[in-house]
Amino acid sequence: MENQNAESVWAQIHGRLQKILADDVQTRWISVIKPLNINDGKLQLGVPNDFYLLWLNENYLPLMQRVAAETLAQPIAIEFLVSSTAALPQETASPEPAPAEPPKKRSAPRPVPALNADFTFENFVVGPSNSLAHAACAAVAQRPAHAYNPLLIYGGSGLGKTHLMQAIGHQVFDSSKTARICYLSAEAFLNEYIESLKNNCPTDFRRRYRSIDVLLLDDVHFLAGKPGIQEEFFHTFNALFDSRKQIVLTCDRPVAEVQGLEPRLVSRFAWGLGVEILPPDLETRIAILRKKAAHHNLQLPQDVVLFIAEKIRTDMRKIEGALTRIALYISLSQQRITVPTVENLLRDTFEKVVPKPSIETIQRTVAETFDLRPADMTSKRRPQSVALPRQVAMYLCRSLTDHSLSAIGDAFGRNHATVIHACRLVEERLQRDPGFRETVESIRSRFST
Ligand code: ADP
Ligand code: MG
């Protein structure tokens, strides 16, 4: 048996179990199991979370050992372990765990199945870029609806918003098994709402979402430009807020900057606390990388860790992908991992370091965009039609190049104070004028390709 791998042993046992167990038990409890290892007469099986672990140990372990012994014609020990490779079934995704006791006690503790088991506070690395968001989430998790309500976490992709939001869900569940916690993306919220309209049961939908203790709604920017669902969410929000239930939201930018979001929603979102997560610094990235590597049982040399942390700077989601590839490489090649190998292996994962544009290129591009002559960038003319583009160009030079204020000033025939003033004006306008922001961002994006 030792020369069979865990997969094939499990496949045999699984085949047998399928004949014995009812279909729903099969889908709910057995199909999520992933074979991990076989060693010394012990088969290790991965399950998605602690709840499955407990439930399977208590209800199905003896049966499975028996079936295994019969199938393999020799006794074998089975051990369940929580493993991130064991995913919850899709869609019906969240198998409502069956009541843990006879039906009369139906309100048995229920985990929050939509939560990723790895997204806990314990697994989150705190650094200067996210410490505020982390502290706010910890406070909310400790006393839902008392600390900050709503709590809004915002920032770019892959910075840990969903992780922190789900950590709240885990902790609330750990401290109160009866709390009704609901995690879903704004997109799923919309889809469920549409479904409920199709099936003529929007009342059920409303009842469901208004009877929650903690609502974790991810990626609210998705609601932008969709007035119907915003209206619905507005009422959900009010109902929950009025009955002192906790609402946690995430967004990919400050909500005031999301175009197409109703002002009344924006103003409600601002009732509580908004915290930003910024891209992590090098130390934090190294710590995240170490933590994830340990989680994957991967030991990486220090220079490899540093190399990856230098290359993956913003989207921490890429770290997971990188580690999976490295793990695969190691298991297939049985070789030590080195910097050149990693460089090869992860070439397309690494964030491209874009060469910085020159001041002249920025001046030329801005002039083109605003239909001016390049000479207008340096001329003494002051009409607004020229002054504003010139200020934009100075602002872009400041944010896209490493030149000093006086070098930028010189290039525009001005002094450094004028550059500071220009940057301030542009930043102010970016805050309040979405059309202007779009123009500036579109110019900026031309330098990133
Ligand atoms: P977002 O929702 O902001 O796009 P996620 O929360 O999905 O990002 O995070 C992306 C990945 O990066 C996840 O695997 C998450 O665990 C990881 N991650 C991001 N920040 C941290 C952190 N500070 N500590 C540990 N893991 C992190
Ligand atoms: Mg997210």
Tell me the angle at which helices 227-242 and 202-210 cross, rounded to the nearest 10 degrees: 40
pLDDT, position 113: 73
């933590």: which residue's tokens? 291
From the number of C-beta atoms within 10 Å of its C-beta (0-12, 13-18, 19+), residue 230 rates as buried
- Which numbered ligand comes closest to the C-alpha of 187? 2
Pocket test for ligand 1, best of 125, 153, 159, 277 (most atoms within 8 A of CB): 159
Atom 25 of ligand 1: nearest residue by CA position:
124
Ligand 1 atom 27: the closest Cα is on which residue? Answer: 160
Handedness of CA 402, 406, 410, 415 (dihedral sign): positive
- 48 close to 55: Cβ distance less than 8 angstroms: no
> With a 6 A CB cut-off, is 162 part of the ligand 1 pocket?
yes
pLDDT on residue 51:
59
Asked if residue 296 has its Cβ within 6 Å of ligand 1, the reply is: no
Tell me how far the alpha carbon of residue 29 lies from the centroid of ligand 1, in angstroms.
Answer: 28
Q: Are 116 and 215 in contact (CB under 8 A)?
A: no
CA of 284 to the centre of ligand 1 (A): 12
Using the atom order of ligand 1, give the atom closest to the CA of residue 118: 16
Q: Using a 6 Å cutoff on CB, does residue 137 contact ligand 1? A: no
Cβ 125 vs Cβ 287: under 8 Å: yes
Q: Helix, strand or coil for residue 414?
A: coil
Nearest CA to ligand 1 atom 5: 160
Give residue 207's pLDDT: 92
Is residue 285 within 8 A of residue 309, CB to CB? The reply is yes
Exposure b/e, 276-306, CB count within 10 A at least 16 = b: bbbbbeeebbbbbbbebbeeeebebeeebbb
Query: In this structure, what DSSP letter does residue 220 have?
Result: G
- Kindly report the protein residue whose alpha carbon is nearest to atom 18 of ligand 1: 160
Dihedral (CA of 418, 420, 422, 424) sign: negative
Q: Is 200 exposed, middle or buried (0-12, 13-18, 19+ CB in 10 A)?
A: exposed
Round to whole Å and give the CA distance between 449 and 446: 6
Q: Specify whether the CB–CB gap between 181 and 170 falls below 8 A.
A: no
Closest atom of ligand 1 relative to the 157 alpha carbon: 4
| Ligand 1 centroid – CA 255 distance (Å) | 20
Q: Whose C-alpha lies nearest to ligand 1, atom 21?
A: 160
Two tokens, residue 298: 């991967």
Residues 6+ apart with CB under 8 A from 434: 257, 259
Please write down the HEC assignment for all residues of 356-392. Answer: CCCHHHHHHHHHHHCCCCHHHHCCCCCCHHHHHHHHH
**Ligand 1 mutation target, pool 166, 316, 324, 349, most atoms within 8 A of CB:** 316
The H-assigned helical ranges of 243-316 are 263-269, 282-295, 302-311
Q: Can you give the pLDDT of all 449 residues of the chain as single tens digits?
A: 555 788 989 999 999 888 888 776 787 778 889 999 988 889 999 987 765 677 788 778 888 888 888 888 888 899 999 888 777 654 333 334 443 333 333 344 456 778 999 999 999 999 999 999 999 999 999 999 987 899 999 999 999 999 999 999 999 999 998 899 999 999 999 999 999 999 988 899 999 998 899 999 999 999 999 999 999 999 999 999 999 999 999 999 888 878 899 999 999 998 889 999 988 999 999 999 999 999 989 999 999 999 999 999 989 999 998 999 999 898 888 888 999 999 998 988 886 667 789 999 999 999 999 999 999 999 887 888 899 999 999 999 988 887 888 889 999 999 988 998 998 899 889 988 999 999 999 999 998 76
d(CA 97, CA 178): 14
What global pTM score does this model have?
A: 0.62
In one-letter notation, the amino acid at residue 179 is A
Block residue for tokens 């301030």:
424
**Phi, psi (5° rounding) for residue 249?**
-130, 155
Question: Is the bond into 150 cis (omega within 30 degrees of 0)?
Answer: yes
Determine whether the shortest distance from the Cβ of 316 to ligand 1 is under 6 A: yes
Burial class (CB in 10 A: 0-12, 13-18, 19+), 52: buried
Task: Answer whether 161 contacts ligand 1 (Cβ < 6 A).
Answer: yes
Q: Is the CB of 130 under 6 A from ligand 1?
A: yes
DSSP 3-state of 190:
helix
pLDDT at residue 389, rounded to an integer: 96
* Dihedral over alpha carbons 335, 339, 344, 345 (to 10 degrees): 60
Quick one: pLDDT at residue 111? 63
User: Does the beta carbon of 444 sit less than 6 angstroms from any atom of ligand 1?
Assistant: no
Please give the distance, rounded to the nearest whole angstrom, from the Cα atom of residue 159 to the centre of ligand 1: 5
- For residue 36, the SS3 value is strand
Q: Give the SS3 label for residue 225.
A: coil
Pair type for strands 42-47 and 214-218 = unpaired
Rounded Cα–Cα distance for residues 192 and 197 (Å): 9
**Dist CA 308 CA 340 (whole Å):** 11
Q: Among residues 5, 47, 9, 7, which one has the least CA distance to residue 29? A: 47
Mutate to test the pocket of ligand 1, among 163, 187, 218, 220 (most ligand atoms within 8 A of CB): 163
Question: Rounded to whole angstroms, how far apart are CA atoms 37 and 10?
Answer: 10
What is the C-alpha to C-alpha distance for residues 269 and 366, in angstroms, rounded to an integer?
36
> Distance from the CA of 285 to the center of ligand 1, in angstroms?
11
**Closest ligand relative to 166 C-alpha:** 1
C-alpha 168: how far from its chain's center?
14
Q: Across-strand partners of 250?
A: 153
Beta carbon of 129 within 6 Å of any ligand 1 atom: no
Question: Which ligand is located closest to the Cα atom of residue 277?
Answer: 1
Q: 163 alpha carbon to ligand 1 midpoint, in Å? A: 5
Which residues lie near ion ligand 2 (Cβ < 5 Å)? 161-162
If you take atom 7 of ligand 1, which residue's CA is the nearest one?
162
